């Protein structure tokens, strides 16, 4: 199971800079990077703009 051969490291959210890895006390945490947060906000604004035309 799992991602198998569908995983592409070159297009992962981490390699794209959208998510960052935080390693603390032997655990890995993933969170949106500042860049990822800006992308999400931009997508929200596009969605609200284009919703008018649907």
Q: Which domain holds residue 13?
A: 4-53
CB 39 within 8 A of CB 33: no
| Confidence (pLDDT) at 25 | 96
Q: Write out pLDDT tens, residues 2-34.
A: 555 566 677 889 999 999 999 999 999 999 999
Domain count for the chain, please give it: 1
| Confidence (pLDDT) at 2 | 55
The pTM for the full model equals 0.68
Q: Write out pLDDT tens, residues 33-54.
A: 999 999 999 999 988 888 878 7
CA-angle at 14, arms to 11 and 19, nearest 5°: 125
């Amino acid at each position: 199971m799992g991602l198998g051969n569908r995983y592409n490291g070159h297009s992962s959210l981490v390699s794209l800079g959208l998510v960052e890895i935080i390693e603390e006390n032997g655990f890995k945490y993933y969170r949106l990077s500042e860049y990822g947060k800006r992308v999400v906000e931009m997508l929200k604004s596009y969605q609200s703009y284009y919703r008018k035309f649907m």
